[in-house]
Amino acid sequence: MADDSGLSAAFIPSLYKPPALLPIARHRDSLLYLVETFPVTIVVGQTGSGKTTQLPQYLDQAGWTADGKVIAITQPRRVAATTVARRVAEEMRCNVGEEVGYSIRFEDVTSAKTRIKFLTDGMLLREALVDPLLSRYSVIMVDEAHERSLSTDVLLGILKKIRKKRPELRIIISSATLQAEDFLRFFAGDDKKLSVDGEQEELGGDIGRIISLEGRMYPVDILYLETPAEDYIERAVKTVFDIHTQEGDGDILVFLTGREEIERTVQMISERAAMLHPKAKTLMPLPLYSGLTVEQQMYVFEPTPENARKVIVSTNIAEASVTIDGIVYVVDCGFAKLRAYNPQTGIETLTAVPISKASATQRAGRAGRTKPGKCFRLYTQQSYESLPDTTVPEIQRSNLAPVVMQLKALGIDNIVRFDFLTSPPAELVIRALELLYSLGAVDDYAKLTKPLGFRMAELALEPMMGKVLLSAATFGCLSEILSIAAMVSLQGGIWVQHDGGERSAAESSRRKFAVEEGDHLTYLNVYHAFVTKGKKDAKWCRDHNLNYKSLTRAVSIRAQLKRHLERFGLSVDESLSGFKTQADPDKPEKIRRCLTTGFFAHAAKMQPDGTFRTVSGGLTLHAHPSSLMFNRKADWVIFHEILETGDKIYIRDITKIERNWLVEYAPDYYRMR
């Protein structure tokens, strides 16, 4: 370290790169020219080139937001939409929600003043339900399109249709290098003109162009393991400490697959860091995954304190969506959690699978942003060579029921003829239609039913939960199901996680709320208790190991769902007396029956050894440790979601049901087999 009395003491480094120094700045004029001239512009650039933060500002300055028009920038992930909006608002010296705002599921931070709006691609699709031509927007920028999320792909197809009716609309697609030509071909499609002598004109014809803004990348050394790692978490932690003790300054970014691994790793790093030499630099481990609150995510972007080193432990969210300055070392476990839908069992799992070469390159590139860096891959070079080149688009491996429902609500009934960038497998479309049919969302002609199908499409809930909420009035438990739906929609947990000795305390406080019929009724108990006792009293939540922020969010989600229902003309009778009242001792059963009307496809039978088997007998499932049904007896259950970790498949949010309810509420589904 240099002598502190010298220059470095007199100057403090800027937290931000001035926008003028970002790689995109020198392309400003050519970008604006392309957007002016062509309906479609494909922007290729590394994460960190400034395209997401600067391009909307250039467009705003160039007059694209005159006459009350808005610029939309879509993101595949909620974290990116919120963090980028904050950053751009800061650069434009306004508060988030004023000139610059964002909109994600259950959270709309925009106003009449908003000219630049960041939103998830799913939210923009929802807006198309109300305004099919998206007429408020002069420019729509689809960011990180190469990630090929489900909503991105559908949105691109919808934009291609809208463009034919709105020639003045400008579409910008930002992508990593590999796929730019595919996007341009998709939009140019039928319009590739031939020139006079029969030669084809430039790819894109009158429709669009590709512009490359390659950022300044410093060289990154890539290091592989000689022999495969037994346990990549253990190995990642060891690598972090090796870097910390043997390498120069610079923060570390560790890629793992999911929240549980990340929390465990952050814990391990904290414990071992406590044993470092007292004079050594401190290590600051910070988690980053989509379930965190916005405040928790923001810690990651704070500048690193003097004499410390940040270790950010992240899912693949940091691979492309957000740029964290100061990263010099990347540790890559080589896996990511991807959706995989099995059409035979009708069940979608999140499974850790090896990443693609494109992802591995993208991860390594995070190290070379500010100076030369190093990427430690926790796998062998042979393993790298055997990775697939790119990730399979989500549309080819997901439960398509939400997509099919959305397209039909947008007036696209013939799903097969819809112009997809990559067509989904026919089997997945058929399964989606079968599920929607058995939920009552589509009729014999595969048209959305009125009112149920249209209402399900409009609710910001997945089809199964949407059906439950819209059936609740007939069961006389609408108020309760609203609370349950809000609780289940929380990304983060409602319980504060503890380790070691405090875990038993957390367990016993959880038992205070426990209802033996399962997790959903327990959530209802927690919600009622929070609304009556804890809403104004964060200490009450702490005493009961409840997450105050999550529960406050549940209250706001519930209010939004309730507004939706009132728009449909369903009035909600609010009796917050809890459901164990003498007035209606059958309430718990009504709620469980109501849940069965939506989640019948997620039914399982308990086996003598305490595991569960799906109805088709194909899968062995385990109750997740966070569930009340962990180590409890039940006969038949329904569950909300499935997680795969290692070699086990877990189910969580579980409720006991009666077998005959399945046949009663889903005769088509269970007869079909």
Same domain, yes or no: 491 and 620? yes
How many CB atoms sit inside 10 A of residue 302's CB?
Answer: 11
Phi then psi for residue 626, to 5 deg, are -80, -10
Asked if residue 317 is part of any domain, the answer here is yes
Q: Is the pTM of this model over 0.85?
A: yes
Same domain, yes or no: 505 and 613? yes
Same domain, yes or no: 131 and 200? yes
Who wins on pLDDT, 535 or 433? 433
Asked if residue 373 is part of any domain, the answer here is yes
Who wins on pLDDT, 171 or 496? 171
Residue ending a domain, choose from 212, 231, 263 = 212
Same domain, yes or no: 142 and 237? no
Same domain, yes or no: 262 and 305? yes
CATH number at residue 42: 3.40.50.300
Same domain, yes or no: 375 and 487? no
Asked if residue 1 is part of any domain, the answer here is no
- Inform me whether the pLDDT recorded for 293 exceeds 80: no
- Secondary structure letter of residue 534 according to DSSP: I
Long-range CB contact pairs, 59-62, < 8 A, 24+? 59/32, 59/35, 59/139, 60/115, 60/116, 62/32
Same domain, yes or no: 384 and 292? yes
**Which of the given ranges, 177-181, 279-283, 315-319, 483-487, has the highest pLDDT on average?**
483-487
- What percentage of residues in the chain have a pLDDT greater than 70? 91
Average pLDDT rounded to a whole number, residues 113-122: 97
Same domain, yes or no: 342 and 374? yes
Q: Show the domain range for 48.
A: 19-212
pLDDT class for 194, splitting at 50, 70, 90?
A: very low
Who wins on pLDDT, 171 or 20? 171
Instruction: Report the domain count for the chain.
Output: 3
Asked if residue 379 is part of any domain, the answer here is yes
Asked if residue 449 is part of any domain, the answer here is no
- Inform me whether the pLDDT recorded for 167 exceeds 50: yes
Long-range CB contact pairs, 669-673, < 8 A, 24+? 669/434, 669/435, 669/438, 669/600, 669/601, 670/600, 670/615, 672/434, 672/438, 673/615, 673/616
**Strands (DSSP E) found in 194-326:** 208-212, 220-224, 251-255, 282-288, 308-314
Asked if residue 405 is part of any domain, the answer here is no
> Taking each helix axis from N to C terminus, what angle separates 463-475 and 587-599, rounded to the nearest 10 degrees?
150
Who wins on pLDDT, 595 or 198? 595
**Strands (DSSP E) found in 235-316:** 251-255, 282-288, 308-314
Same domain, yes or no: 540 and 621? yes
Same domain, yes or no: 187 and 108? yes
Asked if residue 138 is part of any domain, the answer here is yes
Predicted local distance difference test score (pLDDT) of residue 1: 45
Same domain, yes or no: 272 and 292? yes
Token pair listed for 141: 């920028």
Q: What is the mean pLDDT of the chain?
A: 89
Asked if residue 337 is part of any domain, the answer here is yes
Same domain, yes or no: 318 and 388? yes
